[in-house]
Amino acid sequence: MFTKKALCVIEQAISDQGILASSEKKDNYARVWSRDSMMTGITGIFIKNQTIVDGLEKSIKTLANHQAENGQIPSNVYGDKASYGTLVGRTDATIWWIIGACEYIIYSKDEDLKETLKDKIYQAFSCLKTWEFNQKGLLYSPLGGNWADEYVTSGYVLYDNVLRYWALKNAAEVYEDKKLKSFAETTKKLIENNFRKNSSGETKYHETAYQKANEKPYFWASLNADGYDERFDLAGNALAVLLGFDLNMETFLQFLEQLSDEFNHWMLPVFYPIIFPKDADWNLLENNYSYDFKNQPYHFHNGGSWPIYLGWLCLGLKKRGYNEIPLKIVNQYEKLLTEKGSSFREYYSTDQLIPSGTDQLCFSASGYLLMKI
């Protein structure tokens, strides 16, 4: 029942330009967003839904047509207008576009598009290279520079760097490029070496901060000049699990169980712990928004539960042979869809499980479909 409704939400959001974030005409969601359209389109590939895949092709071309001079892909396109970010640019928009374009080329075997997009994909990689700033291999994102655009993570962010690995891996496969393949492998090792405690003797990005960081059962959220942000970033860790990063899965699964026990449900928070007004990081939250303040404790990026990233988590865990937690998550989500309406809202508050944010969101519909794969 919910699968059909999820597909309907996505199909209603497909326009001539591509897949909109939502069919709802609210704020700026009725646009072709790079990250939203790529994640939705990749989900379409995974479930072999041609209507969604066709929407992905349109999205790829629309975004490519508005590529900036420096190789940057727009955060979103509306009509003939492109946005590359508001308060800051969006690092992940360019990366998701590369991933989505390559996934589409691999799936469709479209040789013409493969050649048409080659220069644009390599230009996009060139842009990402400049965003290292220190030429040492990890991508640097400004505060608010990715999907969590009103949150506090910045610097060498786990999520953005894991995505870059995926983009490099995909493009290396599409264009049979040994340099990209080698760069992908180096990127993976850099992340594994710098975002968790390990016995590797390799030099760390920030030796002082690394020595002071606490061991966690997951990859740390980000690294900056002032040290590590040791928070749990569900999106970054979910993608790392999906892409086969080296992580102690037993302790990771134990952590997820503990998180579920703490919140008393399986709609896990996208960032944890929650930031409260008394906390030092609150000042980074309270002014960082475009329309209205959404990051109250347990809401939005500040501990809200996003079905899209729970979907990636479920897919990653199942890919590695762990089926118990994904089943608990999808059962919890289906229970909420039954009790509180199956309109695929943006996120749930994790204190009261109130469906919140934009309605009819492709992100959430895709998350559900990923949970069911």
Burial of 193 (0-12, 13-18, 19+ CB in 10 A): middle
Q: For residue 223, give both structure tokens.
A: 């690294």
Q: Over range 28-41, report the average pLDDT.
A: 95
The answer to whether the beta carbons of residues 219 and 247 sit under 8 Å apart is: yes
- DSSP letters of 187-208? HHHHHHHHSS-----SPPTTHH
Nearest to 136 by CA among 230, 203, 213, 220: 203
The whole-number pLDDT of residue 78 equals: 94
The whole-number pLDDT of residue 162 equals: 99
- CA–CA dist 106, 108 (Å, integer): 6
Strand order in the sheet with 81-83: 32-33, 76-78, 81-83
The answer to whether the beta carbons of residues 245 and 191 sit under 8 Å apart is: yes
Q: For residue 87, give both structure tokens.
A: 């308060």
- CA–CA dist 282, 116 (Å, integer): 46
Nearest to 256 by CA among 296, 210, 216, 301: 216
The whole-number pLDDT of residue 340 equals: 87
Q: pLDDT digit string (tens) for 247-287?
A: 999 999 999 999 999 999 999 999 999 999 999 999 999 98
pTM of the model: 0.98
The whole-number pLDDT of residue 291 equals: 80
Per the DSSP assignment, residues forming a β-bridge with 93 are: none
3-class secondary structure, 331: helix
Per the DSSP assignment, residues forming a β-bridge with 229 are: 222
Helical spans, DSSP H, in 195-281: 207-212, 234-242, 249-263
- CA–CA dist 348, 237 (Å, integer): 20
Band (pLDDT 50/70/90 cuts) for residue 199 is confident
135 has pLDDT over 90: yes
Please give the DSSP secondary-structure letter assigned to residue 321.
Answer: T
In the chain, the percentage of residues whose pLDDT exceeds 70 is: 99
Q: pLDDT digit string (tens) for 324-365?
A: 999 999 999 999 999 987 789 999 999 999 999 999 999 999
3-class secondary structure, 347: strand
